Structure 1
Amino acid sequence: MSTLPPTLGPSFRRAEPDARRLSLIEACARVLAKAGAAGASVRAIAQEAGVSPGLIGHYFGGVDALVTETYAHVDAQVSAALDAAVAAAGGDPCARLEAFVTASFAPPIGTRALLATWIAFWSLVTARGDIARQHDEQYAGYRARLEALLADCGVAADALRLAAISTTALVDGLWLELCLSPGCFTVAEAGAMARRHLDGVISPDRAPG
């Protein structure tokens, strides 16, 4: 007989597997940040999560599948932060575009912890075909969202692809340097550089020479 209160027992049992899966995913992200992809073993992740190593096999079938789901989970968290920034910017298309671009420079995206986890994922792109495909899909989704925001600001359809690629490269570079060397420039300065780039993309005739 269950010792859980009757009113809580069924819902608790339904939620428990999801909660355990999430705890393993979060533990995997922490291990990747601390030890890199090479250190993300079943034993290390289980120890980080405070569970038996057998649970990783039970819920994911192995460490490779867990890393794949962790990559998707971290990407979803980044996407949620970007969505929140765009929503908070209101209805002005250019304000929404600027919010999407500059959100990467501040927490929860602009942090060394996220950078460390992301570097571990990047290190697997050349080693695992499934991670390479996942990387391509995730970045394609980011660029598609950026293209839509650029289009809302009046960027011509034939210019959208390269505008999104150049903006993504700028954001990635600034984000990387901010996380690696935060004393080099500030979040505000990163935002100002990004806005200058966007001004040139949206109104190239008014871009500084």
Structure 2
Amino acid sequence: MARAAAKRESADFRRQSLIEAAADCLADKGVAGTSVRTICARAGVSPGLLRHYFEGIGDLIAATYRDVTERVSRSLAAAEGEAGPEPRQRLIAFVTASFRPPIADPKLLATWLAFWSLVNTRPAIAAIHGETYRGYREGLERLLAGCGLDPAEVRPAAIALTALVDGLWLELSLDPSTFTPAEASAIAVRWVDNWLGPLQTAC
């Protein structure tokens, strides 16, 4: 039993090392410079091992995208959880977490841009992209509804806030000298206050 568990753990480690190597290659070299050879060299394994865990490089890149999105989701959830029970503070924490590490990170941006470039050509990537966007928006919808926002306004508010956060995160990750994380957070908080209006006192 112990040997089987150790073997499974070792297999999980090797699979994860390939995912992390793929993310590093995409960040450093982009899609064009990422291949089975470059990924395996980064992971320190033979090229044949990739086929043992993945159907091919496309399957590995999709698994890498999912892994990256799950890490971001965990960071957002942790920020929300640490904000305590007050609904508005949970919303603010969820929104502003994107302006701090590990989400506000030039390396993460480079990896994300590589994934985005594949959305229109890789159905698996498009599916993960759709799930990710939907999950983030639904998280905002839940938090906005918890602050008492009119149900008819929840969805458009979540869409608009998602676009605002994406734009601020993108610019902050591209050039941190443009504005500070604190300024990005203040902009997002002001937007939330303006949208909630008099309802913010009930949150």
Measured against the shorter chain, the TM-score band is over 0.9
SS in 2 for 1:124: coil
Q: Does 1:80 align with 2:74?
A: yes
Matched, 1:155 2:115: no
Task: Name the % identity.
Answer: 54
Counterpart CA distance in 2 for 1:131 and 1:105 is: 25
Aligned partner of 2:167 in structure 1 is: 173
- The reply on whether 1:142 has 2:127 as its aligned counterpart is no
**Unaligned residue ranges in structure 2 (runs of 5+):** none
1:196 aligns with 2:159: no
Q: Which has the higher contact order (CA 8 A, sep 6+)?
A: 2
Structure 2: distance between partners of 1:180 and 1:13: 41
Q: Cα gap change, 1:205/1:85 in structure 2, threshold over 3 Å: closer, same or farther?
A: closer
Do the aligned residues in 1 keep the contact of 2:119 with 2:125 (CA within 8 Å)? yes
**CA RMSD of the aligned region, Å?**
1.4
Q: 2:24, 2:111 within 8 Å by CA — same for their partners in 1?
A: yes
Q: SS of the counterpart of 1:125?
A: coil
Q: Following the alignment from structure 2 to structure 1, what is the Cα–Cα distance between the partners of residues 42 and 92? A: 38
| Counterpart secondary structure, 1:182 | coil
Q: CA deviation at 1:184?
A: 1.1
Q: TM-score, normalised by structure 2?
A: 0.95
- The structure whose Rg is larger is 1
Distance (Å, rounded) in 2 between the aligned partners of 1:174 and 1:37: 24
Letter in 2 for 1:188: A
Name the counterpart of 2:88.
94
**Please, which of 43, 55, 58 is the counterpart of residue 37 of structure 2?**
43
**Which residues of 2 match residues 2-151 of structure 1 at below 5 A?**
9-151=3-145
Partners of 2:57 and 2:63 in 1: CA distance: 10
Q: Unpaired runs of 5+ in structure 1?
A: 1-6
Cα deviations by residue, 1:125-169 (Å, 9 ceiling, x for unpaired): 112122112211110011001100000011111111110010000
After the TM superposition, list the runs of 4 or more consecutive aligned residues in structure 1 that deviate by more than 4 angstroms: none
The Cα of 1:8 is off from its aligned counterpart by: 5.5
**What is the one-letter code of the residue matched to 2:32?**
A
Partner letter of residue 64 of structure 1? G
Scaled by the length of structure 1, what TM-score is found? 0.92
By how many angstroms is 1:95 displaced?
0.2
C-alpha deviation, 1:11, in angstroms? 2.6
SS of the residue corresponding to residue 85 of structure 2 reads: coil
